[in-house]
Amino acid sequence: MRPEILFPLFDAPLSLPGIGRRLAPLIEHAAGPHIVDLLWHLPINLIDRSARPKVSEAVEGAIATIQVTVDRHIPAATKRLPYKVRCFDETGFLTLVFFHPHVDYLKRALPEGEVRLVSGHTALYQDEIQMTHPDYIVPLGEADNLPLIEAVYRVTAGLTPKTMSQAVARALSHVPDLEEWQDTALLQQRGWPSWSQAVLKAHKPEGREDLSSLSPARIRLAYDELLSNQLALALMRAYLRKTGGRSIKASGALAKTILSHVGYQLTGAQERALNDITKDMEAPTRMMRLLQGDVGSGKTVVALLALCHALETGAQGAFMAPTEILARQHFAFIEPLAEKAGLKVALLTGRHKAAERRDILEGVASGAIQLLIGTHALFQEGVTFQDLALAVVDEQHRFGVHQRLRLQGKGGATDILVMTATPIPRTLTLTAYGDLDVSRLDEKPPGRRPITTRVMPLERLGQIIDHLGQAIQEDHRVFWVCPLVEESDVVDATAAEDRYAHLQEIFSASVVGLIHGRMSSAEKDAVMADFQSGKLKILVATTVIEVGVDVPEANIMVIEGAERFGLAQLHQLRGRVGRGARESSCVLLYKAPLSETARARLTMMRETEDGFRIAEEDLKLRGAGELLGTKQSGLPVFRLADLQTHSDLMAMARDDAMLILSKDPELLSPRGQALRTLLYLFEREEAVRYLRAG
């Protein structure tokens, strides 16, 4: 249950005075559904009204707050002309200018002969010092209502800056005093204010330095958010470890047999990772490990061998991929190997006939099927394992923490191995996978040759096509990726279809294939199979091939509209080549003119194949939220913490969370109680459920 003291913060903005049915949805859209979201909606700028010149000293175009006496109202001669109110001080006249005036209001606000404070932009127009539509008009007695430094908020359509700041101001009046959850020594040492002071201060900047993400108030709030994230992950991890652990002790004989059929030796990195994994599996606690390895580093075989350890003991395994193409690819790789060892493997995707699906489910439930490979269909209700010991989740960035939990719920005692091809910078690993131990494949399989990457303008398309003609004569195989026109399968598909038609005209129609998200799975399978077998030489594709696709014979990659892709995506796409023995190349085709960031991205691609360097650079160019495409990544979205400027805080929060839980695992001490409030404040209440006395 949410602590009562937080109730007011979790009301809807509609409950605030002055926010009615019309404004409420707009505010919710801009900030979020609760009053607390308005607190997190920090100013992005400020207006400084502290300049108090005399009329004659007013600076053209600047914001000034000026004390004047109202001289007289000058109604407009025609509707087109503005209404004017002439004012003055001892140094000269200031004309207030109003278009489409509410005359009644102006008469009330600016009675002739009275003194007023007005604040707004001043301008010189036809020898007149003017202020058009002053932001503030207040009597001297109400000068307090005129903020000399005004916070400016991000607004969305339908909202004015003023309504937004009023809404925030009202929300601020709900800020409760909360028991301190941070270590008091830390607060002192860093000079951080209390939570409520930090919120108020962040919304009432006194100067530009207060807008900086490094101001004490903002750092404190960011740290609160990061600590809540790390504490929630640590609680989840502690809970999962405690529950449902089991010891899988295998001799490794099955893995050895399978590896002998695979036909190559593991790299040192693969050995080390497999060793980490089997150690975890042997331990009585539940394994929760992330296997991180750049594209092409050979994660699949590590997963397979880990699964062998589970299967050897007579238990079951599950292997889950983010797309059907990938699930099929894993199945195609694993099934023949498993067959040699007498193991039964099945593929479960979203498209089985009812009877077929029932057979598979029965086989899984009875234990007749030892290894189930599939897509997210594995999460679905109705899939019950007889004894699931290890679940492997491939290309994890497409799944979120919650899906991970659902999978964990599938087995009484299931070890979890998560694999990601995206080389996530360390700071992000902590936020997304803070609940996991990490093994890295930091070495590629031997014999890989560097990929030559060229960046070229689209005008040179003809030249590239000439070159491809020769390449396919020599039996090279080509991925041709079409631009991501919009976040729309339909539009992408059309672009790809056009290029497909074009290339079919140039080369023989029978050697050019097409694959995109709008095709049926069966069509996609057929095309992939033809490309794999070499019947097709050029595969025109949308980003459906982005992750995981492994066709070692493909060694030329053309990416059209490369300027539209993010760095991580370009790296993933390029990772489809350079897997075989032949020299590989990648052409990044762009449409001029290039924006500065696009140029930086393409240059980076040309300079390096190192996924970690690329990921770090990507973080710089794009910011964390966008890095993995937050929506699909399951990465937490931070409102206050900026993973770039606050990156040192993340590691600190992780250590802090561990220390807290080592001393007070159930959060029962007074500080523990305050930390529970923190979890609720940042809506991480699901973590509280993992506490015994939650």
Chain residues binding Mg ion by CB under 5 A are: 548
Both tokens of residue 371? Answer: 């290894």
Rounded to the nearest whole angstrom, what is the least distance from the CB of residue 39 to ligand ADP in the complex?
Answer: 43
322/672 with CB nearer ligand ADP: 322
| Alpha-carbon distances of 380 from 354, 361, 502, rounded to whole Å | 15, 11, 42
8 Å CB contact between 408 and 392: no
User: Which residue from 455, 464, 489, 478 is spatially nearest to 561, judged by alpha carbons?
Assistant: 455
392/681 with CB nearer ligand ADP: 392
- φ, ψ at 475 (rounded to 5°): 65, 30
13/296 with CB nearer Mg ion: 296
210/394 with CB nearer ligand ADP: 394
397/684 with CB nearer Mg ion: 397
Residue 552 interaction partner, one of ligand ADP, Mg ion, none, beta carbon < 5-8 Å per kind: ligand ADP
Residue 594 interaction partner, one of Mg ion, ligand ADP, none, beta carbon < 5-8 Å per kind: none
420/633 with CB nearer ligand ADP: 420
DSSP label of 128: E
230/375 with CB nearer Mg ion: 375
Q: Which residues contact 3 (CB under 8 A, 6 or more apart)?
A: 676, 677, 680
Rounded to the nearest whole angstrom, what is the least distance from the CB of residue 528 to ligand ADP in the complex?
Answer: 14
Rounded to the nearest whole angstrom, what is the least distance from the CB of residue 601 to ligand ADP in the complex?
Answer: 21
Rounded to the nearest whole angstrom, what is the least distance from the CB of residue 14 to ligand ADP in the complex?
Answer: 49
Distance CA 237, CA 239 (A): 5
70/567 with CB nearer ligand ADP: 567
548/611 with CB nearer Mg ion: 548
8 Å CB contact between 384 and 364: yes
Rounded to the nearest whole angstrom, what is the least distance from the CB of residue 321 to Mg ion in the complex?
Answer: 8
Rounded to the nearest whole angstrom, what is the least distance from the CB of residue 297 to Mg ion in the complex?
Answer: 9
Distance CA 559, CA 590 (A): 8
Residue 295 interaction partner, one of ligand ADP, Mg ion, none, beta carbon < 5-8 Å per kind: ligand ADP
317/548 with CB nearer Mg ion: 548
Question: How many H helices and E strands in the chain?
Answer: 25, 21
Rounded to the nearest whole angstrom, what is the least distance from the CB of residue 270 to ligand ADP in the complex?
Answer: 6
DSSP string, 173-205: TT-------S-HHHHHHHTPPPHHHHHHHHHS-
SS3 category, 94: strand
Do the bridges between strand 538-541 and strand 477-481 make them parallel or antiparallel, or are there none, so unpaired?
parallel
Q: Which residue is nearest to ligand ADP (CB)?
A: 298
User: Which residue from 169, 138, 140, 164 is spatially nearest to 152, judged by alpha carbons?
Assistant: 164
Both tokens of residue 201? Answer: 């201060």
Rounded to the nearest whole angstrom, what is the least distance from the CB of residue 579 to ligand ADP in the complex?
Answer: 5
Residue 694 interaction partner, one of ligand ADP, Mg ion, none, beta carbon < 5-8 Å per kind: none
How many C-beta neighbours within 10 Å does residue 361 have?
A: 19
48/443 with CB nearer ligand ADP: 443
For 159, left (φ over 0), alpha (ψ -120 to 50), or beta?
Answer: beta
| Alpha-carbon distances of 451 from 82, 241, 448, 551, 575, rounded to whole Å | 66, 42, 9, 15, 9
Residue 298 interaction partner, one of ligand ADP, Mg ion, none, beta carbon < 5-8 Å per kind: ligand ADP
425/548 with CB nearer Mg ion: 548
Bridge partners of 95, per DSSP, are: 86, 130
The residue to which tokens 């003991």 are assigned:
313
Output the CA torsion 556→559→560→565 (10° steps): 180
245/445 with CB nearer ligand ADP: 445
Rounded to the nearest whole angstrom, what is the least distance from the CB of residue 237 to Mg ion in the complex?
Answer: 25
Rounded to the nearest whole angstrom, what is the least distance from the CB of residue 441 to ligand ADP in the complex?
Answer: 7
221/305 with CB nearer ligand ADP: 305
Residue 301 interaction partner, one of Mg ion, ligand ADP, none, beta carbon < 5-8 Å per kind: ligand ADP
SS3 category, 381: coil
Distance CA 428, CA 290 (A): 13
- φ, ψ at 506 (rounded to 5°): -80, -50
Element (H, E) at 197: helix 195-203
8 Å CB contact between 289 and 417: yes
Q: Which residues contact 161 (CB under 8 A, 6 or more apart)?
A: 152, 153, 155
Rounded to the nearest whole angstrom, what is the least distance from the CB of residue 545 to ligand ADP in the complex?
Answer: 13
Measured N-to-C along each axis, helices 489-506 and 461-473 cross at an angle, to the nearest 10 degrees, of 60
Do the bridges between strand 63-74 and strand 115-125 make them parallel or antiparallel, or are there none, so unpaired?
antiparallel
109/557 with CB nearer ligand ADP: 557
Contacting positions for ligand ADP (CB under 6 A)? 264-267, 270, 293, 295-301, 421, 445, 548, 550, 552, 579
Distance CA 15, CA 638 (A): 25
Rounded to the nearest whole angstrom, what is the least distance from the CB of residue 267 to Mg ion in the complex?
Answer: 15
Residue 641 interaction partner, one of Mg ion, ligand ADP, none, beta carbon < 5-8 Å per kind: none
Residue 491 interaction partner, one of Mg ion, ligand ADP, none, beta carbon < 5-8 Å per kind: none
Output the CA torsion 1→434→397→591 (10° steps): 110
Q: Which residue is nearest to Mg ion (CB)?
A: 548
Rounded to the nearest whole angstrom, what is the least distance from the CB of residue 280 to Mg ion in the complex?
Answer: 20
Rounded to the nearest whole angstrom, what is the least distance from the CB of residue 448 to Mg ion in the complex?
Answer: 15
Handedness of CA 498, 503, 509, 511 (dihedral sign): negative
DSSP label of 15: G
Rounded to the nearest whole angstrom, what is the least distance from the CB of residue 257 to ligand ADP in the complex?
Answer: 17
Distance CA 567, CA 128 (A): 53
